[in-house]
A and B are shown apart, each in its own frame.
Chain A
Amino acid sequence: MDKKLAYRFSKIYNTYSEQIYRFIYIKVDTRETAEDLTSEVFVRFWKTFQKNGHDRIENPKAFLYRMAKNSIVDFYRGRPILRPLSDQDIPETADKTQELEKREMALSDQEQIMAVIRTLKDEYQDVILWYYIDQMPVGEIAEILEKSENAVRVTIFRAMEELRKNFPKDSFSNQKV
Chain B
Amino acid sequence: MEDQTLINKIQSLKAIKPSREWQVKTEMDILGYKPKVWDGISFPSVNLLQPRYAIAFGLIFIAIMSSLAFGLVPGLNQQEMVTKYGYAGLANNLDKSSSFYLDYAAKNLQLLKDGKIKDTEAVVQGVKLALERAQAKLPTKVSSVKESTKLVEKINNVETQLNSVRATLGSEVDGIDAEMQNVKTSTQIIIEKEIYRLTAKGEINELENSTLTEEQKALFQEAKELFNIGKYQESLEKILELSNESGN
**B238 smallest CB distance to A (angstroms):** 20
A133–B14 CB distance below 8 A: yes
- Please report which residues of chain A, range 39-94, place their CB below 8 angstroms from some CB of chain B when the two chains form the complex: 39, 42-43, 46
A39–B18 CB distance below 8 A: no
Bound form: Cα–Cα A7–B33 in Å: 12
Cβ-neighbour of A7 out of B13, B29, B49 (below 8 A): B49
- Please report which residues of chain B, range 46-89, place their CB below 8 angstroms from some CB of chain A when the two chains form the complex: 47, 49-50
Tell yes or no: B209 within 8 A of A by CB.
no
Query: What residue in chain A is nearest B47 (Cβ atoms)?
Result: A14
Tell yes or no: B94 within 8 A of A by CB.
no
B93: chain A residues within 8 A (beta carbon): none
Given contacts A17-B18, A172-B1, is CB(A164)–CB(B6) below 8 Å? Answer: yes
A34–B14 CB distance below 8 A: no
A43: chain B residues within 8 A (beta carbon): 30
Tell yes or no: A144 within 8 A of B by CB.
no
**B247 smallest CB distance to A (angstroms):** 11
B18: chain A residues within 8 A (beta carbon): 17-18, 21, 34-35, 38
**A40 smallest CB distance to B (angstroms):** 10
Given contacts A10-B47, A13-B27, is CB(A1)–CB(B32) below 8 Å? Answer: yes
Given contacts A7-B49, A177-B2, is CB(A46)–CB(B31) below 8 Å? Answer: yes
Bound form: Cα–Cα A117–B12 in Å: 13
A133–B10 CB distance below 8 A: yes
Tell yes or no: B11 within 8 A of A by CB.
yes
Bound form: Cα–Cα A18–B14 in Å: 10
Bound form: Cα–Cα A25–B10 in Å: 14
Tell yes or no: A160 within 8 A of B by CB.
yes
Tell yes or no: A110 within 8 A of B by CB.
yes
Tell yes or no: B7 within 8 A of A by CB.
yes
B30–A42 CB distance below 8 A: yes
Bound form: Cα–Cα A119–B89 in Å: 74
**Majority-rule SS of A interface residues:** helix
A160–B31 CB distance below 8 A: no
Cβ-neighbour of B13 out of A39, A110, A172 (below 8 A): A110
B5–A177 CB distance below 8 A: yes
Bound form: Cα–Cα A63–B10 in Å: 24
**A119 smallest CB distance to B (angstroms):** 14
Tell yes or no: A114 within 8 A of B by CB.
yes
Cβ-neighbour of B6 out of A22, A109, A129, A167 (below 8 A): A167
Cβ-neighbour of B11 out of A1, A26, A133 (below 8 A): A133
- Which of B16, B17, B50 gathers the greatest number of chain A CB atoms within 10 Å? B16
- Please report which residues of chain A, range 136-177, place their CB below 8 angstroms from some CB of chain B when the two chains form the complex: 160, 163-164, 167, 171-172, 177
**B11 smallest CB distance to A (angstroms):** 6
Given contacts A10-B31, A167-B6, is CB(A110)–CB(B16) below 8 Å? Answer: yes
B2: chain A residues within 8 A (beta carbon): 177
Bound form: Cα–Cα A110–B17 in Å: 13
Binding site for A on B (CB under 8 A): 1-18, 22-23, 26-27, 29-33, 47, 49-50
What are 24 A-B pairs at a CB distance below 8 A? Answer: A1-B32, A6-B49, A7-B49, A9-B30, A10-B31, A13-B23, A14-B47, A17-B26, A18-B18, A18-B23, A22-B14, A35-B22, A38-B18, A38-B26, A42-B27, A109-B9, A113-B9, A113-B13, A128-B10, A133-B10, A171-B1, A172-B1, A172-B5, A177-B2
